[in-house]
Amino acid sequence: MILLTTSTGAKHIILLGAPGAGKGTQATVLSELQDIPHVSSGDLFRDNLKRETPLGLQAKSYMEKGELVPDDVTVAMVHDRLNQPDCDSKGVILDGFPRTVEQARALGKVLQQDGKKIDLVVYIQVPEDVLVQRLTGRWICRACQTVYHTLHNPPRTAAECDACGGELYQRSDDRPETVQNRLNVYFEQTLPLVDFYQEKGLLREMDGQQDIETVGTALLEVIQAKQPR
């Protein structure tokens, strides 16, 4: 995760970690606690896909295979979102972006132009076997988006949401063969960001294998301390 501050005091936070590391889980809670917009590049793509926009249709084939959507498309999409008033005044919790060194460089330039900068990067670490188990067991409610896990948090009735009775579905990229490709892509294209931000003195590492609440508490401490190592 990357913490950025601006002269206006807005906070800009980016979560860094593998697919299944818990970026979305933590960003959702953090966003409420800190009143900072949560921007997930994956959610933006999925929303476009659902609405069958040209951007969504462009991203579809990459997402289904677990490949990254091209940098120029992704950077433009996130840039547009960052320019919206809520992000401008409050900052942002970025989840799933940047995911390549090129995206990180583009983000740095965009922020610099707006008088903002990255203050802190927190990298949420989880072993590969745990990531695979988390992703392949995940089911989501179509109606209210509640997340279940076949082993750790199963619904009371198979394929039905406990909270609202909605239908549960599996993300198409959570199928085992696609999960492995997403992880391979992560190790090749996203992991270099750890060195990239470490060299800038911004990186903080975090054990993402602990339970959700413990990770959340640790994360909050890091953000409140705002002390890059």
Exposed e or buried b per residue across 29-54, where buried means at least 16 C-beta atoms within 10 angstroms of its C-beta: bbbeebebbbbbbbebbbebbeeeee
Sign of CA dihedral 179, 223, 228, 78: positive
Q: Is 46 among the residues known to form the active site?
A: no
Q: Are 91 and 9 in contact (CB under 8 A)?
A: no
Annotated active-site residue 99? The verdict is yes
Q: List all residues 6 or more positions away from 187 whose beta carbon is below 8 Å from its beta carbon.
A: none
Annotated catalytic residue, options 65, 81, 105, 171: 171
- Told to check if 24 binds Mg ion by CB under 5 A, we report yes
Q: How far is the CB of 125 from ligand AP5 (least distance, A)?
A: 11
Nearer to Mg ion, 24 or 166 (CB): 24
Subset of residues 76 to 115 that bind ligand AP5, contact rule: CB under 6 A: 96-97, 99, 103
Contact in structure between 200 and 118 (CB atoms under 8 Å): yes
155 interacts with Mg ion by CB under 5 A: no
Binding site for ligand AP5 (CB under 6 A): 17, 19-25, 40-42, 45, 62-63, 66-69, 74, 96-97, 99, 103, 134-135, 138, 147, 149, 173, 182, 208, 211-212, 215
